[in-house]
Amino acid sequence: MKTLTLKEIAKAVNGSIITGNDQAEITGVSTDSRTVKKGDLFIALIGARSDAHDYLPQVAKAGAKAVIVSDREKTLELLKDEDVTAILVEDTLQALLDLGGYYLRSLGLKHVIGVTGSVGKTSTKDFLGGVLNEKFRTVCSTKNHNSVYGLPLCIFELDPEAEAAVLEMGITDRDSMSKLADMVGPEAAVISNIGISHLEYFPEEKREGILKAKLSVTRYFSDDSVLAINCDNDILHELDLEERAIKGRLLKVGTEPGNDFVISDIRDKGVDGIEFSLTYEQKTYNICLGVPGAHNALNGSLAIALGVNYGLTMEEAIRGLENTQITEHRLDVKEVRGIKIIDDSYNAAPDSMKSAMNTLMSTPVPENAKHVAILGDIGELGSEREAGHRAVGEYAFAKRIGTVLAIGKDSKYIFDGWMDAALARGHRLKKVNEMPLILMDEDTGCSVEYFDSIDMVINGVRDHIEPGDCVLVKASHLMGFDRIVARLTEE
């Protein structure tokens, strides 16, 4: 991070210094009292269950040079014997966003691109970063830090020598995308799709509400701006920028003729990746991507489209795509003790669950080995919570996955969806066990098991897996399924 003086920080966040030295400089920013380092600025956020002002003495002892606070009396009391500069603001979260925006602008980047969507944001961000790096020194936001809390902290860590930044922008409530847009002000953006994730924030508007929120990413667009969209998505397919009074133009990507970039002939090679063809300006290119998942043909093509928009040749963009390193826990393939593990434990939506199962079943296993899907709860589905999980169970049955483990309160609907799909097709089901609940399809030999908590699975999960098996692990991040992956990969 570039050093900043406390005087310029106070100005950037519309704050006033109530104690300390305004000429001091800070070398890092933290919102977690446990990670504060010497020379840091600590921003005291107030959450539903905790008030970070209470940790100001610990922050001071850890070596923080300054704090941004909203409680004057508590701050002066807790820091009365400490040599720490305090900057008072009305809202510390807004101060975090204001400072993030100020710092981003201070980098003098040539290009800032926002990436959003219901699923596929992180992979698309990674792909776009890889593509643009062929022409510009490009940096990306890290991991799943796409929220009003996480993205500013990523911005403070960006390489000051960078020329372009690709920033993932997610929804955590109805207004979060607008706040992120105010901070980032992207000149171009990608919307990977509009699904049913985050429906709980839009109970009345449904997917149209999600679309409107995602389109806030364009609020600082100019006539020269570009929005790349997945036109295979039903709601994006109908998008008209002029109708919505949005500046700029659309860059359309999809499998249908008439798009600017047309995808065809997708070949899913399971854990070995995908191959597909991409046609642009009447010329077709073959692309070999080592990243698993047929859906990544669309995510990767969106990245190529924006790369070409920024002056890359198709050959340069494809090279950058094929060399991209993807964020871990996203169809991340590991092999231990002769078992293939597809770690997709980072996040989940009904559509991405189905796509991951396609990858699982496209991966060949030896005779007598099996495919195993360990699936967990999907968050933020709102009124679609039951239907979304049931659809996953129905799809798992249709794919004839050897063993399905459904884990979590909402995943009982995955179990139910699998069971109902089997019964609807006249299959004979046998109850093998009561707790955990296990059903065996006597016609296919496939089975489904239900566990209401991950703790029931951790110790015994390896009993389900044999050498030669291929295992998919997928759930929303809140489920902590990386613990299952860690257990499976233990030597």
Q: Packing angle between helix 296-309 and helix 121-132, nearest 10 degrees?
A: 40
> β-strands 261-268, 371-376: how paired?
unpaired
Q: In whole angstroms, what is the distance from residue 347 CA to residue 486 CA? A: 16
Task: Count the alpha carbons within 13 Å of 369 in the hemisphere toward its beta carbon.
Answer: 17
Q: How far is CA 348 from CA 75, 119, 356, 477, in A?
A: 41, 8, 10, 8
CA angle at residue 143 from 140 to 148, to 5 degrees?
80
Q: Find the distance separating the first CA and the last CA of the chain, reported in whole Å.
A: 39
Q: Which residue has the tokens 């900057």?
A: 87
Burial 34-65 (b: 16+ CB within 10 A, else e): eebeeebbbbbbeeeeeebbebbeebbebebb
pLDDT of residue 144: 75
Q: Where are the beta strands (DSSP E) in 163-225?
A: 164-168, 188-191
pLDDT at 21: 86
What pLDDT is recorded for position 330?
78
DSSP tag of 327: P
CA distances from residue 162 to 103, 166, 445 in whole angstroms, order as listed? 13, 11, 55
DSSP element (H, E) containing 179 = helix 176-184
Calpha distance 473→357 (Å, rounded): 10
- Residue 17 tokens read as 């210094």
Contact yes or no for 385/411 (Cβ under 8 A): no
469, 339 in Cβ contact below 8 A? yes
* β-bridge partners, 407: 376, 451
**Residues contacting 134, CB < 8 A, separation 6+:** 307, 312, 316, 317, 319, 320
Place of tokens 């990523």: 154
What is the full DSSP assignment across 42-106?
EE--B-SS-BGGGGHHHHHHTT-SEEEES-HHHHHHHTTTS--EEEE-S-HHHHHHHHHHHHHHH
- Segments in 215-295 forming alpha helices (H): 234-237
Average pLDDT by consecutive 10-residue portion of the chain (491 residues)? 94 96 91 95 93 96 96 94 94 98 97 95 95 97 90 96 97 93 98 90 91 96 98 96 97 97 96 96 96 95 98 98 86 92 91 94 95 95 95 98 96 98 96 92 96 89 91 94 93 74
For residue 35, give every residue at least 6 positions away whose Cβ sits within 8 Å of its Cβ, in sequence order, or none. Answer: none
- Token pair for residue 2? 């570039």
Identify which of 32, 257, 268 has the alpha carbon closest to the alpha carbon of residue 150. 32
Tokens representing 348 are 């989940």
CA 233/CA 239 separation, integer angstroms? 10
Two structure tokens written together for 22: 């305004």
- Rounded distance between C-alpha atoms, residue 44 and residue 418, angstroms: 47
Rounded-to-integer distance, Cα 215 and Cα 178, Å: 9
pTM for the whole structure: 0.88
* Inter-CA distances, 91 with 17, 35, 70, 201, 410, Å: 15, 22, 6, 23, 36
